[in-house]
């Protein structure tokens, strides 16, 4: 997407030490990419945690009716 030049050393320098000559579009693309990545990570971990609590809820619901039947 972004042309940093042909030299590998130049690319390495730009990646490791981004100077103040970043354009507004590059900054917007960087923050948009980071926000998308963080959103995907949050969704993935939210799905894992939600699925875990969903399974725990199923186990608890299976265990609860036995005690209710004994009381009745």
Segments forming the whole domain that contains residue 41: 8-71
What is the number of domains present in the chain? Answer: 1
Please write the tens of the pLDDT for every residue from 55-70: 999 888 888 766 555 5
Instruction: Say how far apart CA 13 and CA 8 lie, in whole Å.
Output: 8
Instruction: Say how far apart CA 40 and CA 26 lie, in whole Å.
Output: 21
Radius of gyration of the chain (CA): 25
CA dihedral 40→46→48→50, nearest 10 degrees, is -150
In a domain, 25, yes or no: yes
* Average of per-residue pLDDT across 19-47: 86
CB 11 within 8 A of CB 18: no
pTM over 0.75: no
In a domain, 3, yes or no: no
């Amino acid at each position: 997407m972004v042309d940093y030049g042909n030299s590998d050393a130049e690319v390495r320098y730009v990646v490791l030490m981004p100077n103040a000559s970043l354009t507004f579009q590059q900054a917007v693309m960087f923050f948009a990419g980071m926000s998308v990545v963080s959103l995907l990570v949050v969704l993935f971990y939210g799905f894992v945690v939600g699925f875990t609590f969903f399974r725990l809820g199923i186990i608890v619901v299976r265990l609860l009716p036995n005690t209710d039947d004994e009381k009745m």
